[in-house]
Amino acid sequence: MKFKVYSLILFVSFLISMGCQRDDICPETTDTTPLLIIRFYDINDPAVPLAPQNLGIREENSEEFVFIRNDRNRDQVITYERFTGDSLAIPLKTDSDITSFKFILNNTEAALEDGTQDTDILTFTYGINEEYINRACAFKVNYVGLKVDAQEAEDNSRWIQDIQVEQANIVDQNQAHVSIFF
- Interior CA angle at 173 toward 135 and 152, to 5°? 120
Name the band, by pLDDT with cuts 50, 70 and 90, for residue 137. Answer: confident
Contact 125, 150 (CB under 8 A): no
Contact 49, 39 (CB under 8 A): yes
**Residue predicted with more confidence, 67 or 98:** 98
Q: What span, in angstroms and rounded, lies between the C-alpha atoms of 16 and 31?
A: 30
Predicted pLDDT at 5: 67
Q: Which domain holds residue 164?
A: 2-181
Number of domains comprising the chain: 1
Q: Flag whether pLDDT at 60 surpasses 70.
A: yes
Q: Which pTM value belongs to this model?
A: 0.81
Q: Flag whether pLDDT at 147 surpasses 70.
A: yes
Predicted pLDDT at 21: 56
Q: What span, in angstroms and rounded, lies between the C-alpha atoms of 70 and 89?
A: 10
**In sequence order, what are the beta bridge partners of 7?**
none
Name the band, by pLDDT with cuts 50, 70 and 90, for residue 33. Answer: very high
How far is Cα of residue 165 from the mean position of the Cα atoms in its chain? 16
Q: What span, in angstroms and rounded, lies between the C-alpha atoms of 33 and 115?
A: 38
